[in-house]
Chains A and B, each alone.
Chain A
Amino acid sequence: MRIEVVENVLKANDAVAAANRRLLERYGLLAVNLMSSPGSGKTALLERTIPMLGPAEPCSVMVGDLQTTRDAERVGPYTVQATQINTGTGCHLSAAQVAEALARMELDRLAYLFIENVGNMVCPAEFDLGEHVRAVLLSVPEGDDKVAKYPTLFQKADVILLTKVDLLGVLDFSIDRVREDLARVNTRAPLLRVASRTGEGLGDWLDWLRRTRAARVAGGS
């Protein structure tokens, strides 16, 4: 017998993501999904960003990794709460894992919730978590060809951070090449140059966060 249907296969994930988004909408916070390859500096960026935002803009962090609680321990001292999600062999965070972590968080105190995804430039782009915005990092040591190689991730970005720019003079890396590739993939997301080690460009990143949060809270959506 033949059965005809039209059913979204990711509807379980998408339904939980939508529920996460509805929950987050109730608070005046901005939820940022950070995605990049491993070692591009997601945790280092948060270690600098959260103290700079300061006590007036409290942050919590959810970190996805296959193993260890190291990243949560690193950002822990700066946050209201830091939750480590170990995915075991999973290559991405799912909306259900985020929902479980959200249930244990004090959301009413927060200005920002950073969701540090599993380091991977392919799979995390496929799973909506219910975040408000997606920040994609690309570090100078990874090479200037990554936008062209992983267009799906960059196409979905609301902001793109070129990290470790303090190494620009040391490594052969062409920002023009990144810009050329982004002209074909994503002209909506601003490209910000940052170096967590030296603090370069972090002001622009903070401005972007504050502007985006203000627009979201004012827009009531």
Chain B
Amino acid sequence: MHEMAIAWQIVEQSLRIAAEHGAGRILEVRIEVGAMRSVVPEALEMAFTVCSEGTAAEGARLHVTTVTPRARCNPCGREFEPQYGFFACPGCGQADVEILAGQEILLKGLECRSPQEAVDP
């Protein structure tokens, strides 16, 4: 359940960003999760619900977009899309890669009530 640790971070960063923009209650949080992260979207959504309770993000929807993985072969330099559990280069056959995409967890945006709608003290 490392999703809990990730959810805490999402809530904390969302609250800070909303506060920096003088926004009110958070309605939606949009994140991108690399397909290679061992993150289960349903588990993350559940963890987010728990972690956001009692905050300005309580009840907000967590919108998760999956990012396609991308790798570069270290021996031959070819870039390709690795499949889950399969990192062998289609060019040279070696499984020695640098992951370029697919491991990220990015906070991309928030949908919030505007400041004048803010009701929270």
- Give chain A's interface residues, CB within 8 Å of chain B: 1-13, 89-92, 94, 122-123, 125-127, 148, 151-152, 155, 182-188
Flag if B108 contacts A187 (CB, 8 Å).
no
Given A4-B109, A184-B86, A123 contacting B2 (CB threshold 8 A): yes
Give the A-B contact count at a CB cut-off of 8 A.
Answer: 105
Flag if B18 contacts A8 (CB, 8 Å).
no
Does B74 interact with chain A (Cβ within 8 Å)? yes
Does B37 interact with chain A (Cβ within 8 Å)? yes
Flag if A3 contacts B38 (CB, 8 Å).
no
A-B contact pairs, 30 of them (CB 8 A): A1-B112, A1-B113, A1-B114, A2-B110, A2-B111, A3-B109, A3-B111, A5-B108, A6-B106, A8-B104, A8-B106, A8-B107, A9-B6, A9-B107, A10-B9, A91-B2, A94-B5, A122-B38, A123-B38, A126-B2, A127-B5, A151-B85, A151-B87, A155-B97, A184-B86, A185-B87, A188-B74, A188-B94, A188-B95, A188-B96
Cα-based distance from A188 to B96 in the complex (angstroms): 5
Given A9-B13, A184-B95, A185-B95, A152 contacting B36 (CB threshold 8 A): yes
Q: Which residues of A have CB within 8 Å of B95?
A: 155, 182-188
Q: Which residues of B have CB within 8 Å of A9?
A: 6, 9-10, 13, 31, 105-107
Q: Which among A7, A151, A152 has the greatest number of chain B C-beta atoms within 10 A?
A: A7
Q: For chain B, which range describes its interface: under 10, 10 to 19, 20 to 34, or 35 or more residues?
A: 35 or more
Flag if B87 contacts A186 (CB, 8 Å).
yes
Q: Which residues of B have CB within 8 Å of A126?
A: 2, 37-39
Which chain A residue lies CB-closest to B31? A9
Which chain B residue lies CB-closest to A155? B87
Which chain B residue lies CB-closest to A1? B114
Given A183-B95, A186-B95, A7 contacting B13 (CB threshold 8 A): yes
Q: Which residues of A have CB within 8 Å of B38?
A: 122-123, 125-126, 152
Given A9-B13, A126-B38, A151-B84, A90 contacting B111 (CB threshold 8 A): no
B2 CB, min distance to chain A CBs, angstroms = 4
Flag if A5 contacts B110 (CB, 8 Å).
yes
B73 CB, min distance to chain A CBs, angstroms = 10
Q: Which residues of A have CB within 8 Å of B18?
A: 3
A132 CB, min distance to chain B CBs, angstroms = 17
